[in-house]
C-alpha cells in the first residue's frame, strides 16, 4: 500500500491508464485539427471526436448530436444558464436553484441576478435533498429555468431529478442538472430522467482535466442557447474554439469504461464505503453522518466528529488525502456552504470530513484510513474539555459559557 492514500475522488480522479492510452495518438502522429476538412490529419481527428461523442451519448442515453464539448463542467454550467437566460430572457426572468449547489452554479446565478434576473435559492432539507414539491412551490409564470444538481459533491446526496424533470416538463420550464458527480457513478438516462440540459466533466470520471461537455436536448423540447463564446461556430454554433481532440478522446474512453463497469463498480464502492463507516463508528461514539442514507452516491461518505477541531483532525490523519467542511482548508472563512444550507450546525460543519471512495480504493486502504481516523479522534478528544463535559453527561446546549445571567 502506497501512502498517502488518495480519498478525495470528489475533487478529482487520476487518469485511468486505458484513458491515457486512448489519448496518446492524438498528441503524436494524429495531431490534426478536427475542423480541417481537406486532409487525413483532420479526418482522423474528426473521427476521434465523433467516436467520443457516441461514447458519451451512450452513457447518458442521448444522441451524439446533443453533445457540446467544453473545457469542463464550470464552462458547461455557464453556457447552460447564461445561454438560456439570454435566449429566453424576454419570456421570463425567474430562475430556480438551490443553496447547496456547486459554486459554479451559484456564482453564475449571482451574475444573472446582476443582469436583472430573479433567482430563488431553495434550501435543501437536512439530508441535502430538494424535493419536487419544493420546486413546484417555487415555480412561477415567469420561471424559465430550474438548475439543480444530480449528486452533491460534498455529501453525495442525490436529488429526485426524474420527478423534478417531469414537473418542469409539465410546466414548460427548462431543466438543467449539474451531473458532474453522478455521471459514470450511477445510472443516468436523459430520456427517462426528463433532462433538458446536463453537464459532465472528464476529470471526475478518470479522464483528463480541462474537458467536459454540455448535453443540450434537440427535440421535445428543442433547447436553444445563445453562445457565450464567439468564434468559428464550432459545436453547432454553441461553443466556438478548436476542439481539444486528445482530451475529448480521453473523455469518450472514460465514459465507455464507466458504462462497461458501472454496476460492478457501484457495488464495490458501496461495500467499501459502508465498511469504512462501520469501522469508524464501531470504535468511536458521537460520530455524525452528513447526507441522505437512502439517496446517495456509492463512493462518498461525509462524517462529522464533534468535539474535535477540523483542522487538527485533517493534520492528524496525514496518511489520508481527504477534504473537510471546515473553514480552514479553503480560501473562504465560512464553513462549507453545503453543510450550512443543510443546517447541520457550525460545530458539526467544522469537524466534518468527506471520504471519497473510487476506482483505485482497496480494502487495505479503508482499514488503514479507519485506524488512523479512530486513533486521531480519540487522541484529540482526550484533550477536549468539551468532550469531557459530554462524557460527564452535561448538555452543552444548556451551558452558559459567558458566565453571565
Ligand X SMILES: *Cc1c(COP(=O)(O)O)cnc(C)c1O
Residue (11 or 262) nearer to ligand X, CB: 11
Tally of CB atoms within 10 A around 201: 29
Please confirm, yes or no, whether 328 is among the known catalytic residues: yes
Of the candidates 42, 46, 8, the one whose C-alpha atom is nearest the C-alpha of residue 300 is 8
Residue (47 or 209) nearer to ligand X, CB: 209
Between CA 30 and CA 342 the distance in angstroms is 49
Of the candidates 192, 210, 177, the one whose C-alpha atom is nearest the C-alpha of residue 77 is 177
Residue (201 or 361) nearer to ligand X, CB: 201
Residue (46 or 269) nearer to ligand X, CB: 269
Catalytic residue among 168, 300, 328, 369: 328
Between CA 313 and CA 90 the distance in angstroms is 51
Q: How far is the CB of 74 from ligand X (least distance, A)?
A: 3
Residue (179 or 257) nearer to ligand X, CB: 179
| Side-chain-facing half-sphere of 167: CA atoms under 13 Å | 22
Alpha-helical (H) ranges within 61-215 are 73-88, 103-114, 132-138, 161-171
List residues near ligand X by CB under 6 A. Answer: 72-74, 102, 104, 149, 153, 178, 180-181, 201, 204, 212
Q: How far is the CB of 70 from ligand X (least distance, A)?
A: 8
| Side-chain-facing half-sphere of 336: CA atoms under 13 Å | 31
Between CA 96 and CA 118 the distance in angstroms is 9
Between CA 29 and CA 12 the distance in angstroms is 29
Q: How far is the CB of 181 from ligand X (least distance, A)?
A: 5
Alpha-helical (H) ranges within 241-335 are 245-281, 310-316
Residue (280 or 341) nearer to ligand X, CB: 341
- Using CB positions, name the residue nearest to ligand X: 72
**What cell does 351 get?**
469537524
Between CA 229 and CA 167 the distance in angstroms is 31
Between CA 215 and CA 255 the distance in angstroms is 14
Residue (180 or 326) nearer to ligand X, CB: 180
- Residue found under cell 475522488: 9
Q: How far is the CB of 178 from ligand X (least distance, A)?
A: 5
Residue (44 or 108) nearer to ligand X, CB: 108
Q: How far is the CB of 73 from ligand X (least distance, A)?
A: 3
DSSP 284-310: -SS-EEES-SSSB-TTEEEEE-TTS-H
Distance set, CA 166 to CA 134, 147, 189, 196 (Å): 14, 14, 13, 11
Q: Which long-range contacts (CB under 8 A, 24 or more apart) does 41-49 make?
A: 45/243, 45/245, 48/245, 48/248, 48/249, 48/252, 49/243, 49/245, 49/248, 49/249
Q: What is the largest CA-CA distance in the chain?
A: 84
Catalytic residues: 328
Amino acid at each position: 500500500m502506497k501512502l498517502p492514500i488518495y480519498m478525495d475522488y470528489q475533487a478529482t480522479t487520476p487518469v485511468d491508464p486505458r484513458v491515457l492510452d486512448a489519448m496518446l495518438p492524438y498528441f503524436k502522429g494524429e495531431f490534426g485539427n478536427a475542423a480541417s476538412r481537406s486532409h487525413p490529419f483532420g479526418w482522423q481527428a474528426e473521427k476521434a471526436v465523433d467516436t467520443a461523442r457516441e461514447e458519451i451519448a451512450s452513457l447518458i442515453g442521448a444522441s451524439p448530436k446533443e453533445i457540446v464539448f467544453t473545457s469542463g463542467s464550470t464552462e458547461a454550467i455557464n453556457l447552460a444558464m447564461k445561454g438560456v437566460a439570454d435566449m429566453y430572457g424576454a419570456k421570463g426572468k425567474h430562475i430556480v436553484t438551490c443553496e447547496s449547489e456547486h459554486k459554479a452554479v451559484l456564482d453564475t446565478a449571482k451574475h444573472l441576478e446582476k443582469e436583472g434576473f430573479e433567482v430563488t435559492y431553495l434550501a435543501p432539507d437536512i439530508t441535502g435533498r430538494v424535493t419536487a414539491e419544493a420546486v413546484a412551490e417555487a415555480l412561477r409564470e415567469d420561471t424559465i429555468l430550474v438548475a439543480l444538481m444530480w449528486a452533491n459533491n460534498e455529501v453525495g446526496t442525490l436529488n429526485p431529478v426524474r420527478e423534478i424533470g417531469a414537473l418542469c416538463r409539465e410546466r414548460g420550464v427548462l431543466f438543467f442538472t449539474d451531473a458532474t458527480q453522478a455521471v459514470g457513478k450511477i445510472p443516468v438516462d436523459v430520456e427517462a430522467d426528463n433532462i433538458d440540459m446536463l453537464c459532465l466533466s472528464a476529470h471526475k470520471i478518470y479522464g483528463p482535466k480541462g474537458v467536459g461537455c454540455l448535453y443540450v436536448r434537440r427535440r421535445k423540447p428543442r433547447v436553444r442557447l445563445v453562445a457565450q463564446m464567439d468564434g468559428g461556430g464550432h459545436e453547432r454554433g454553441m461553443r466556438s474554439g478548436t476542439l481539444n481532440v486528445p482530451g475529448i478522446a480521453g473523455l469518450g474512453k472514460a465514459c465507455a469504461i464507466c458504462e462497461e463497469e458501472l454496476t460492478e463498480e457501484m457495488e464495490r464502492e458501496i461495500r467499501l464505503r459502508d465498511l469504512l463507516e462501520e469501522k469508524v463508528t464501531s470504535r468511536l461514539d458521537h460520530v455524525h453522518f452528513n447526507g441522505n442514507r437512502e439517496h446517495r452516491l456509492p463512493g462518498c461518505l461525509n462524517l462529522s466528529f464533534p468535539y474535535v477541531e477540523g483542522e487538527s483532525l485533517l493534520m492528524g490523519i496525514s496518511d489520508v488525502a481527504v477534504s473537510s467542511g471546515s473553514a480552514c482548508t479553503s480560501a473562504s472563512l465560512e464553513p462549507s456552504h453545503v453543510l450550512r444550507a443543510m443546517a447541520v450546525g457550525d460545530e458539526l460543519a467544522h469537524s466534518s470530513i468527506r471520504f471519497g471512495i473510487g476506482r483505485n480504493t482497496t480494502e487495505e486502504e479503508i482499514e488503514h484510513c479507519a485506524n488512523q481516523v479512530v486513533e486521531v479522534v480519540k487522541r484529540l478528544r482526550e484533550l477536549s474539555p468539551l468532550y469531557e463535559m459530554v462524557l460527564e453527561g452535561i448538555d452543552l446546549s444548556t451551558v452558559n459559557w459567558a458566565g453571565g445571567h
